[in-house]
Amino acid sequence: MEKGKVYIVGAGPGDPDLITVKATKCLASADVILYDRLVNPELLKYRNPQSELIYCGKAPGNHCFPQEAIHQLLIEKSLQGKSIARLKGGDPFVFGRGGEEAEALASHGIPFEIVPGITSGIAAPAYAGIPVTHRDYASSFAVVTGHRKNGEEDNIQWEYLAKGIDTIAIYMGVSNLPYIQEKLLFFGKNANTPVALIQWGTLSDQQICISTLGEVLEDIKDKNIENPCMILVGEVVKLREKIKWFEQSQKENYIHDNGVLI
């Protein structure tokens, strides 16, 4: 039997309108869809109603579906001749373990294709009114994981991030924020550097906390901020007050939905 092809697909950051056209085509043609916890369920409307749905979600600290089991499932379904969409939040190659899954498929001779998606490190700040680069504020931009693989030492080059990068986007770093703050301050990042925490970025219940590197732990103490959350560190955060647009858009949509003319 001919092997089925696996499409490792980026679902985007949360807003269902931000999925790509190619991703929707993959969902429509797939026999099997394996999807993650942070994938917006609305995206499943693009699927073939006869397709098999398999939830592969991993909550922080609770990986009920181990990564190795996902690899095995992708291989098994392909060997059955089925077309598979592996739907992952954001972009599959930006802290999405898409590279690990592609490696596993390649080692078994399984055909696959990567379908990029919009990553939250760019989209969440954009919806918060914060450009990650700007000619007056930031000519460099780095994406960093906010947590380490279990049992492994920290190999992030905090000194170079603190001294050489204008805008730092940190994924899933809320629980590790005290350590992140400590490292950046230790290596010389100014305590007055603006910081934004963006929870559920691009969604209607998006929450944003603006602070500074020195005060952020105190400022979020009673705000119950947890992942999924992007942490943005850099002078570009100052631009939010001038160009924030999403809150106004939400307000306008609310007024229209209630039959009130603006």
Sequence-distant (≥ 6) Cβ neighbours of residue 66 within 8 angstroms? none
Catalytically active residues, by annotation: 36, 58, 172
Go through the domains of the chain in sequence order and give each one's CATH number. Answer: 6-118 (3.40.1010.10), 121-246 (3.30.950.10)
- Check residues 151 and 206 and name the one with the higher pLDDT: 206
Query: What DSSP character marks residue 204?
Result: T
Whether pTM exceeds 0.75 = yes
SS3 for 221?
coil
Reported as half-sphere exposure (CB side, CA atoms, 13 A), residue 224 has a value of 0
SS3 for 6?
strand
The pLDDT tens digits of the residues spanning 182-226 come to 999 999 999 999 999 999 999 999 999 999 999 999 999 988 899
User: Confidence band (pLDDT; 50, 70, 90) for 154?
Assistant: confident
